[in-house]
Amino acid sequence: MILKRLMLVSLLGVALAANAQDEMWDKSASGRQHPNIQWFKEAKFGMFIHWGLYSKLGGVWNNKRYYGSGEWLMNQAKVPADIYAAEAATFNPVNFNADEWASLAKEAGIRYMVITAKHHEGFAMYDSKVSDFTIVKSTPYKKDPMKALADATRKRGIQFGFYYSQFLDWHEPNGGGNRWDFDESKKDYQRYYREKSIPQLKELLTGYGPLGIVWFDMPGGLTKQQTQQLVDSLRVLQPASLFSSRVGQGLGDYRDFGDSEVPPAPINEVWESIYTHNDSWGYIEHDMNFKSPREIIRLLANVASKGGNLMLNVGPDGKGNIPYYSVQYLKATGKWLQQNGESIYGTTYGFIPAQPWGVTTAKPGKLYLHILDRPADGKLLLPGCAVTVSKVYTLVGKRVLSFAKKGTDVIVNIPGMDAQSPNTVLVVEYQGKAPAYDTAAPVTVSAQFSVNTIEAVHAKMTDSARVKSLTYSHYFGDWKHSVCVTNMMGPKDEARFDIRITEAADYKVILEYACNAESGRQEGSVLVNDKEYLFRTLRSSEFDKSNPLMFIQHAVAITTIGQPGLYTIAVKPLQQGKELFKLKSVRLEPIK
């Protein structure tokens, strides 16, 4: 029995570990609110910093390069704890400058900062009295960088917080995770909490002034009651500090999604998405996959349009330098925010769902339109705009725009836009009560865009078909999340999408899916405009614990739409037996 469970755990290891984030959030907790939650709700943009001994190693051990999460290097290379600890002797971040980091954050438009005080490697990046494995006691640097950073950020009005990995500690025989040095059966987790984790957390909560956030990660080894005791014992030290949901057992003050995950639709709770600027959280020399300012700005708008905060990570190197591209691209993001911040800070999700042109955020009486793609004819459609619009204008330059109303459609005449702009924001001022966000609203499809993507989250399903957020990794620990229609096992398992096509045109129908060897070469059908089109699946990937999901775009049909109006697209397998594929989206491309 135990053996069987162990096997299951190791087989499902990846998916389980990563999906555990969701189990950490107790939905009933959303009713209760921390009295100091307001600043966090309004902040919208945070900076995460992963900095530790791993930063000095830069993803290289014994001349071998490791890809993925650099802060996992010790684990990836299974470095013995004493040999790893000896690396501290050459860790000397002489270029660290708290004021530079804090002023970069300020210039980037960051409202809160969370830095790793201790990651899974067990190394304290501050002056801890309860361990010898610290930046003060075991490196030539000998100073505590956290004091200066806490002061420098607060001085600039930025909330400061610590990340603390409360259970994993590969340096300690009793800490979670290190089985390559220490016998699992001899581990005493309670003792680890008692002797290191809790005392260190207490140091952090008492020695660095008021903390905006204590960002826990990877809970383990505690029952709900024990977690409650941990929370209670820390709360008394700083009642105003917010605890992340990864404290475990549903006891956090706000909800964190999985690493690099944004929910597919708005959520009326207090929540945060965390992303890293490149592929790794901790510094890796050979990781150059940095998100462009355009990608960051669009990600921020996307997260805000669902009602959440984005905390974006940077990984300074072992000398204390934030990577060049992080500095440049954060500054560029800050430039955009300086002009457009009104449409991000202090907003919640807008009542108009994502459109082919972009997304919406809102404040009382105002709707912000984030235009990510300009309609070719310059006519911007706002469906379901059941309010009295008084004025529409560009946020930058305050140029007033004309608009027309047709039922609950509002059509705004937008000017030619700077095609280089990552996100052009319009403000809609209105009277009346904002309508509720309609999750069942038909998805807009328009010939004014080169592509219209109908995401899986909009599927209405029959029988066993299910929408799921699938988790997989590219590099080690580099998680990706895709919401897909899964479990379409036979002709009764249909995914139906209700769409509204706004122009007559021929449209190419493209299915975006991942499909493993077993699912390859199966027949399916797409019903569009009452015509059935057949296709056979193309194999795209193996999906198991060691392989990422690979999505392909498979064009399967052309449909001629003679009249604007409401249509349905339905996808299903033709035969019974195996899953057809994991369907990420249906794409409609107008043919010009």
Residue numbers at the binding site for ligand H79 (CB under 6 A): 13-14, 17-18, 69, 71-72, 217-218, 259, 274, 281, 476-477
Nearer to ligand H79, 286 or 531 (CB): 286
- Rounded CA-CA distance 20/14 in Å is 10
Strand 424-431 and strand 366-371: the pairing is: antiparallel
Nearer to ligand H79, 74 or 381 (CB): 74
Nearer to ligand H79, 476 or 533 (CB): 476
Nearer to ligand H79, 180 or 418 (CB): 180
- Least gap, CB of 19 to ligand H79 (angstroms): 10
Give the residue from 162, 40, 163, 51 showing the smallest Cα distance to 111.
40
- Least gap, CB of 258 to ligand H79 (angstroms): 8
Beta-bridge partner residues of 410: 382, 405
- Rounded CA-CA distance 263/272 in Å is 10
Nearer to ligand H79, 47 or 371 (CB): 47
- Least gap, CB of 48 to ligand H79 (angstroms): 7
Give the residue from 362, 361, 383 showing the smallest Cα distance to 372.
361
- Least gap, CB of 215 to ligand H79 (angstroms): 8
- Least gap, CB of 17 to ligand H79 (angstroms): 4
- The neighbour count for residue 38, using CB atoms within 10 Å, is 12
Nearer to ligand H79, 13 or 435 (CB): 13
Residues 6+ apart with CB under 8 A from 17: none
Sole residue written with tokens 């999901």: 549
- Least gap, CB of 13 to ligand H79 (angstroms): 5
Nearer to ligand H79, 316 or 358 (CB): 316
Sole residue written with tokens 């309010």: 387
Nearer to ligand H79, 10 or 233 (CB): 10
Nearer to ligand H79, 244 or 559 (CB): 244
Nearer to ligand H79, 69 or 540 (CB): 69
∠ at Cα 246 (240, 247), nearest 5°?
A: 60
- Least gap, CB of 204 to ligand H79 (angstroms): 16
Nearer to ligand H79, 72 or 437 (CB): 72
- Rounded CA-CA distance 408/413 in Å is 16
Give the residue from 500, 560, 572, 513 showing the smallest Cα distance to 539.
513
Rg (CA), the chain: 25
- Least gap, CB of 367 to ligand H79 (angstroms): 33
Give the residue from 449, 562, 571, 556 showing the smallest Cα distance to 505.
562
Sole residue written with tokens 């430039």: 335
- Least gap, CB of 177 to ligand H79 (angstroms): 8
Q: Tokens standing for 221?
A: 């080894």
Give the phi and the psi of residue 29 in degrees, each rounded to 5. Answer: -70, -20
Q: Are 174 and 188 in contact (CB under 8 A)?
A: yes
Q: Tokens standing for 387?
A: 């309010």
Q: Tokens standing for 303?
A: 């997260």
- Least gap, CB of 146 to ligand H79 (angstroms): 17
Nearer to ligand H79, 18 or 24 (CB): 18
- Least gap, CB of 556 to ligand H79 (angstroms): 35
Phi-psi region of 417 (alpha: psi -120 to 50; beta: other; left: phi over 0): beta
- Rounded CA-CA distance 581/576 in Å is 13
Nearer to ligand H79, 220 or 491 (CB): 220
Residue 288, CB-side half-sphere exposure with 13 Å CA sphere: 1
**Residue 63 burial by CB count (10 A; 0-12/13-18/19+): exposed, middle or buried?**
exposed
- The neighbour count for residue 45, using CB atoms within 10 Å, is 24
- Identify the DSSP state of 196: I
Give the residue from 139, 191, 189 showing the smallest Cα distance to 168.
189
- Identify the DSSP state of 197: I
- Least gap, CB of 119 to ligand H79 (angstroms): 6
Nearer to ligand H79, 55 or 69 (CB): 69
- Least gap, CB of 317 to ligand H79 (angstroms): 17
- Least gap, CB of 47 to ligand H79 (angstroms): 13
Q: Are 120 and 192 in contact (CB under 8 A)?
A: no
Q: Tokens standing for 174?
A: 């009793």
Nearer to ligand H79, 470 or 515 (CB): 470
DSSP, collapsed to helix, strand or coil, labels residue 224 as: helix
In the chain, the amino acid numbered 438 is D
Counting runs of H as helices and runs of E as strands, what totals does the chain give?
A: 12, 31
- Least gap, CB of 121 to ligand H79 (angstroms): 10
Strand 213-217 and strand 242-243: the pairing is: parallel
DSSP, collapsed to helix, strand or coil, labels residue 188 as: coil
Q: Tokens standing for 279?
A: 């592929």
